[in-house]
Amino acid sequence: MPNIVTIPFSDQPAINKNDSFTQSWFMFFQDLWRAVRRNVGIKLGGTLNVDTESKSNLGNAETDLITYNLAAKSMANNGDYLEIIAWGIFASNANNKTLKLYFGNQIIYQTDANAANNANWQFKAIIIRKSSNSQEICTELLSNSSTIQNDSNYPIVRIVGNQDLSASLIVKCTGQGSATNDLIQNTLIIKLNPYN
């Protein structure tokens, strides 16, 4: 009889005391579905990421805030689209602040340097796959800051993306101010919506 190694359920629980999947099992099934979808064309989407660990700019340099690594081939078929939702605050001061949203190495929205003071901001972006290296992108910035509302890009920017979707891509916001904590990002949500 062959040797069979078993892992007791109590050592590697798939379900925690609240009857919900633990993080490691959730990641396993998410990776499994991504692999199956790529190989046999299954249409599966949903929330890929929710990050609520606040990040702020450092000094007067452009600083990465919350980032997400989109796995290669996540947008496998033309018409698949990604939703990005991000929000945060502009500090209560008169320092100039610049906020950017990146998809891969491409800036898909950039504010003018402005003195947004004690205000909230929110990005909403839709990225649609047109081909493996072409995307249709529309991004909206909402804010209760009057200086943002007078921004030359406010509120909507539409661009053509040129990122290689067969490679992994970083989705991130960056902030640049005059001093640390001029810009804070509180949340980044990423959702994948396959085309049926």
Diameter of the chain by CA atoms? 76
Q: How confident is the model at residue 18 (pLDDT cuts 50, 70, 90)?
A: low
User: What pLDDT score was predicted for residue 9?
Assistant: 40
**Rounded CA gap, 131 and 136, in Å?**
10
Is the pLDDT score of 28 beyond 90?
no
Question: Three-state DSSP class for 34?
Answer: helix
Is the pLDDT score of 16 beyond 70?
no
Q: Note the pLDDT tens digit of each residue in 151-195.
A: 988 999 999 999 999 999 999 999 999 999 999 999 999 999 998
Is the pLDDT score of 12 beyond 80?
no
Report the mean per-residue pLDDT for the chain.
Answer: 87
